[in-house]
Structure 1
């Protein structure tokens, strides 16, 4: 079975598998000689990845995938997207190489950065103002729950990732600098200072070039992260000298956490010191990736394989900005939609710009549900490219929800429901054996539908009066449904009657008939499959709705 999975993975076309194959080529090239790389690739292509692992010791070191996090704020949509997408690549790599190839996913926190400004929406802003320029792990926690602001936000990050079930290792920049993990590469940066500057200076403006140094010393007096020139370098002693605004001319070692690096050299140093094999980033960082890759080579490292994803846009097509608040937060998505629907949205076309707004959530939920349904009927070669294979690490649920989210939204509105219990009362007629315990996804969707309807659908509903043609068709459909057994729950039987009435009353095109049902009866431009809706809502209730719509009572 494993060999078959590896074979399928070699031919899979979805983007995580494309990235996994690129990552595999990167690892083979980085770790093996040309001859050994050819031999290993032949084994892997023959479905013998385990044999390649046993043959070449260099391949047994874990493949390291990394994501980065700036803990000056709380985890956000981009944090989820980057970890979710990187996890998809990791799972695809495992399928390609077999479970015995070791991999690691590191969530790295840049918590040694200096606090540059007081974030919005935090308590005790005056306290934070006093701590500006200190490393985040030295800034006092305004929430009063942790030793520092950095520790507080790191804890939030870990809780955030744990809540979604991500498999990762947390790593703190402060811990790595202070432990000496980065010392060897920091000394190399000192030794190759001029080469580092040759990469960085052409990227800077004239004023910044005059004072730029890749080293940001930590003031022994104030503890601030200083943006100052390096006046002297002693490679043999491993030190730099600078002017400390609080202490005058000062010399400190570049090791042991006495300095940190500017962010691009820091990124490159981390790739080198940790031997990172893969890291993706947003399209806005393409130039930064290019520069950091050059710096990585200067430091004696090999830049990781990478992937640049497109950024999200707001409802008006403008770039989302945290400072403007024109995006969608994690808490907002999870009020109206499931984590799986968000993962589905992150999976789709990561190189294409997409709107990230409330209006995309219902479609994302229903698309996710439809992909679950499709998966069960697909052949293995199609399954492995299905988004839900990646969302669920190759083991998606066998069933989704018996009812779509869009149908639930309309049921909430027509039934004037305000609780799950009211919705389950309707479901008892349509799916007699269903309970919140047997249909947990449906139960969750009911809660999301109630929230979404109250906040977005109800305020936007606009009912209109029917035309004479539409009113006659509504009465005809009511008469036909009244002739069916009142306990009919077969949506197809009801849908056939809906089609028959539309044709009998000469709606041209036929979609105009369905538009009339939605606009007059539901107060919306679009709606669910009407037969399924009527089956859940109940025939007597649907007949009453049709008659009130025909009389113009719903238009108010």
Structure 2
């Protein structure tokens, strides 16, 4: 079953508290949907990757220990524990002569313990006593049990486990956040070279991401799930976000998804040479980046939207599919050929279309405004309009200026006097010749003043005409985004 993030009220938090100190894979899932706490979050990662069309192979450390995959690495560290203590002492306090780099799991209470009293590398066992452990500002009480554990019934401390994973799994490239660059990576590479006597993988440190200007924090609930993001933007737009320079900090702003989508659309146009490119160094660099980054960004989307014969699939159930090596060349050809005819509705225009539930009206407006050609293939039309529901969901979740129901089907019953009628007609004449949002906003004020109408009352009339409400978004920029024929018809009270 897929793991899900749910509200705290639905979580059995006591299941966590009662099991502090146990391996994550032995803690019952407090959300109640998976076999363990560890499996719950592994499922979330796997599901998120699948939604983005990213092929991943999930590997369980617990299963690697239990199957003996870590046994040789564990034995090696314990045989060289004096060297291990020496290296670890450069990075961690309290590394004394009694320190043993192995944490058995107590067979009485199931908790991890640090107190190893004897090591038998020939037998592959350790003797231990289950003592208290410090975890942050908490003390996890041991049960006092004394027993024997095999190398499969415990784990290496993380500073040794990480390099052991490199060896066991054959890791040759290791990305990590900048918080690990100053402590974890130096210790890991030191342990690899001077304890395991192996070369560490090629590192890549990446900068912090923030979410709407604040640090991601699972403990405070300041997170966003991939499945939620993909209800608002296409998977290729999210993949594009991660193509940017990882050494620079970036903000993932849900509130400003329109900016991210606009950036992606421009990136895509650059790939197809549809922008107004010149010979400047900046434009040449942008074209070079698009040429390298666009094909892998779009492939999983194409794999979902075109079958093995290259025929388009209308409204595919999966929006991204992992790309197999044998399809890569075909998908790159599709990207350069048939998919070059795709249509991307401007995101905020799609949000405006989302103010009406009528799919036929949405399509009609998109065609009338010139976004969807009359001769567009069916898959192009469907693809273009698929952005509308995403933009509508973005408006709903952020409560922004597009989170209103536009009254298109019939004009609200708005009673206005002669002065207001004249002012509305005058404003319509202005809008007919101007499309700048700030100019239209300013003209609303000036028109009201010229006709000696209260500014607030004039705006209220506008909101009632379009939303049958007393309030709404900033009116000038909003009218500039609407299809002009509808705006003029409504301002002139013609229907």
Same fold (TM over 0.5): yes
- Whether 1:239 aligns to 2:239 is no
Task: Please tell me whether the aligned partners of residues 118 and 127 of structure 2 are also in contact (alpha carbons under 8 angstroms).
Answer: yes
Which residue does the alignment assign to 2:320?
none
Which of 436, 439, 456 is the matching residue for 1:513?
Answer: 439
Which residue does the alignment assign to 1:134?
22
Deviation string 1:17-46 (CA, Å, 9 cap, x unpaired) is xxxxxxxxxxxxxxxxxxxxxxxxxxxxxx
CA distance 1:517–1:343, shift in 2 (3 Å)? farther
CA distance in 1, matches of 2:23, 2:92: 24
Deviation string 1:184-224 (CA, Å, 9 cap, x unpaired) is 11111111212222222332345x87986431111122222
User: C-alpha displacement at 1:351, in angstroms?
Assistant: 1.7
Deviation string 1:513-550 (CA, Å, 9 cap, x unpaired) is 366489988944995995xx56xx252x23245668xx
Task: Please tell me whether the aligned partners of residues 407 and 527 of structure 1 are also in contact (alpha carbons under 8 angstroms).
Answer: no
CA distance in 1, matches of 2:376, 2:270: 22
- Whether 1:427 aligns to 2:324 is no
CA distance 1:212–1:421, shift in 2 (3 Å)? farther
User: C-alpha displacement at 1:327, in angstroms?
Assistant: 3.9
Task: Please tell me whether the aligned partners of residues 427 and 444 of structure 2 are also in contact (alpha carbons under 8 angstroms).
Answer: no
Which residue does the alignment assign to 1:225?
112
CA distance 1:171–1:441, shift in 2 (3 Å)? same
Task: Please tell me whether the aligned partners of residues 327 and 356 of structure 1 are also in contact (alpha carbons under 8 angstroms).
Answer: no
- Whether 1:216 aligns to 2:161 is no
Report which stretch shifted further, 149-158 or 365-374. 149-158
Partner of 1:250: helix, strand, or coil? Answer: strand
Higher helix share: 1
Which residue does the alignment assign to 1:280?
175
Mapping of 1:158-237 within 5 angstroms? 158-206=46-94, 213-226=100-113, 228-237=114-123
User: C-alpha displacement at 1:388, in angstroms?
Assistant: 2.2
Partner of 1:313: helix, strand, or coil? Answer: strand
Deviation string 1:360-384 (CA, Å, 9 cap, x unpaired) is 3111122212222221128997366
Deviation string 1:80-108 (CA, Å, 9 cap, x unpaired) is xxxxxxxxxxxxxxxxxxxxxxxxxxxxx
Which residue does the alignment assign to 1:326?
222
Which residue does the alignment assign to 2:249?
353
Which residue does the alignment assign to 1:453?
395
Partner of 1:458: helix, strand, or coil? Answer: coil
Which residue does the alignment assign to 1:11?
none
Which of 371, 386, 392 is the matching residue for 2:298?
Answer: 392
Task: Please tell me whether the aligned partners of residues 215 and 259 of structure 1 are also in contact (alpha carbons under 8 angstroms).
Answer: yes
User: C-alpha displacement at 1:253, in angstroms?
Assistant: 2.9
User: C-alpha displacement at 1:138, in angstroms?
Assistant: 2.3
CA distance 1:528–1:273, shift in 2 (3 Å)? farther
Task: Please tell me whether the aligned partners of residues 515 and 526 of structure 1 are also in contact (alpha carbons under 8 angstroms).
Answer: yes
Aligned residues: 386
Which residue does the alignment assign to 1:70?
none
Structure 1's unaligned 5+ residue stretches are 1-72, 77-118, 462-469, 482-496, 503-510, 549-556
Task: Please tell me whether the aligned partners of residues 427 and 434 of structure 1 are also in contact (alpha carbons under 8 angstroms).
Answer: no
CA distance in 1, matches of 2:294, 2:106: 50
CA distance 1:512–1:459, shift in 2 (3 Å)? closer
Deviation string 1:454-497 (CA, Å, 9 cap, x unpaired) is 34223899xxxxxxxx999845445xx4xxxxxxxxxxxxxxx5
Partner of 1:439: helix, strand, or coil? Answer: helix
User: C-alpha displacement at 1:140, in angstroms?
Assistant: 2.8
Task: Please tell me whether the aligned partners of residues 371 and 386 of structure 1 are also in contact (alpha carbons under 8 angstroms).
Answer: no
CA distance in 2, matches of 1:381, 1:435: 28
Task: Please tell me whether the aligned partners of residues 408 and 446 of structure 1 are also in contact (alpha carbons under 8 angstroms).
Answer: yes
Task: Please tell me whether the aligned partners of residues 271 and 287 of structure 2 are also in contact (alpha carbons under 8 angstroms).
Answer: no
CA distance 1:264–1:473, shift in 2 (3 Å)? farther
Task: Please tell me whether the aligned partners of residues 123 and 142 of structure 1 are also in contact (alpha carbons under 8 angstroms).
Answer: yes
Partner of 2:348: helix, strand, or coil? Answer: helix
Which residue does the alignment assign to 1:376?
272
Mapping of 1:408-487 within 5 angstroms? 408-412=350-354, 416-418=355-357, 420-430=359-369, 431=372, 432-433=374-375, 437-455=379-397, 456-458=399-401, 474-478=427-431, 481=432
Report which stretch shifted further, 340-349 or 370-379. 370-379
CA distance in 2, matches of 1:525, 1:304: 56
Which residue does the alignment assign to 1:67?
none
Task: Please tell me whether the aligned partners of residues 327 and 357 of structure 1 are also in contact (alpha carbons under 8 angstroms).
Answer: no
User: C-alpha displacement at 1:136, in angstroms?
Assistant: 2.4
Report which stretch shifted further, 376-385 or 291-300. 376-385
CA distance in 2, matches of 1:194, 1:237: 19
Task: Please tell me whether the aligned partners of residues 75 and 160 of structure 1 are also in contact (alpha carbons under 8 angstroms).
Answer: no
User: C-alpha displacement at 1:305, in angstroms?
Assistant: 0.7
Which residue does the alignment assign to 1:295?
191
